[in-house]
């Protein structure tokens, strides 16, 4: 695998981009010499970061977190803001979020140190469903909801029509469940804006076979074998 992927999977760097910066800065050694971008590494190679050995995890971990509002989906933040890394075990090397939720969005966020699974879940060709619970501010014309269901045109292309279920109308807000398999940045927020809907709240409740269920906010759990098999 590429050296930057090796560093990210080991937990020595929070992302491949950060790993590339470490390599470019000359802080990484590969088999006794300063490493260069584009090189490959395997568990048999001797990799050092600032003189300390870097090894891949001996076992894979798969976690589900109920992300609260206000946390960034990153492993560290240069401005000192709260990140999801504070909510999962620090003792598991290479643990990274699978995909992301913006700071205001709450709910289900998966983590793993299995790079192959993370790539599979996030790759568009996998078409793994993500289900969200939306709260929309009333009132709004019915045709705006129809525009959302049809898949609005966005600046990066038309949204594939989502599946809308569990429509519930209240005095001040309408709630519904919306299922998509796209992973474009902030696509639901942008789709609501394009349809003229005022989105009050957004919670992810399912990724493929993994459901948020009764998991408390800020807590995590391990995935079951059935959930893991369904993601693969």
Maximum pairwise Cα distance, the chain: 68
d(CA 158, CA 144): 16
d(CA 84, CA 218): 9
Q: Is 102 a catalytic residue?
A: yes
Structure tokens, 103: 């700071």
Q: Which one of 50, 77, 102, 226 is the catalytic residue?
A: 102
- As a whole number of Å, the end-to-end CA separation of the chain is 21
31 φ, ψ to 5°? 55, 45
Smallest Cα–Cα separation from 76: which of 23, 10, 13, 118?
13
d(CA 67, CA 220): 9
Angle at alpha carbon of residue 182, lines to 179 and 184, rounded to 5°? 125
Q: Which residues form the catalytic set?
A: 102
């Amino acid at each position: 695998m590429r050296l930057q992927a090796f560093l990210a999977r080991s937990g020595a760097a929070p992302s491949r981009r950060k790993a590339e910066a470490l390599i470019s800065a000359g802080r990484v050694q590969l088999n006794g010499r300063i490493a260069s971008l584009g090189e490959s590494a395997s568990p048999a190679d001797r990799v050092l970061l600032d003189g300390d050995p870097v090894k891949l995890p001996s076992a894979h971990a798969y976690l589900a977190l109920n992300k609260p509002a206000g946390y960034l989906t990153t492993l560290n933040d240069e401005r000192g803001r709260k990140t999801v890394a504070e909510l999962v075990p620090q003792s598991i090397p290479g643990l990274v979020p699978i995909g992301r939720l913006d700071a205001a969005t709450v709910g289900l966020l998966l983590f793993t140190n299995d790079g192959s699974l993370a790539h599979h879940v996030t790759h568009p060709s996998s078409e793994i469903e993500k289900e969200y619970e939306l709260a929309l501010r009333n009132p709004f014309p019915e045709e705006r909801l129809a525009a959302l269901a049809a898949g609005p045109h966005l600046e990066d292309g038309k949204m594939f029509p989502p599946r809308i279920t569990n429509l519930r109308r209240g005095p001040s807000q309408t709630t519904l469940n919306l299922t998509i398999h796209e992973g474009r940045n902030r696509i639901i927020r942008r789709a609501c804006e394009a349809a003229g809907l005022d989105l009050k709240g957004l919670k992810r409740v399912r990724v493929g076979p993994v459901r948020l269920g009764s998991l408390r906010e800020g807590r995590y759990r391990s995935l079951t074998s059935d959930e893991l098999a369904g993601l693969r």
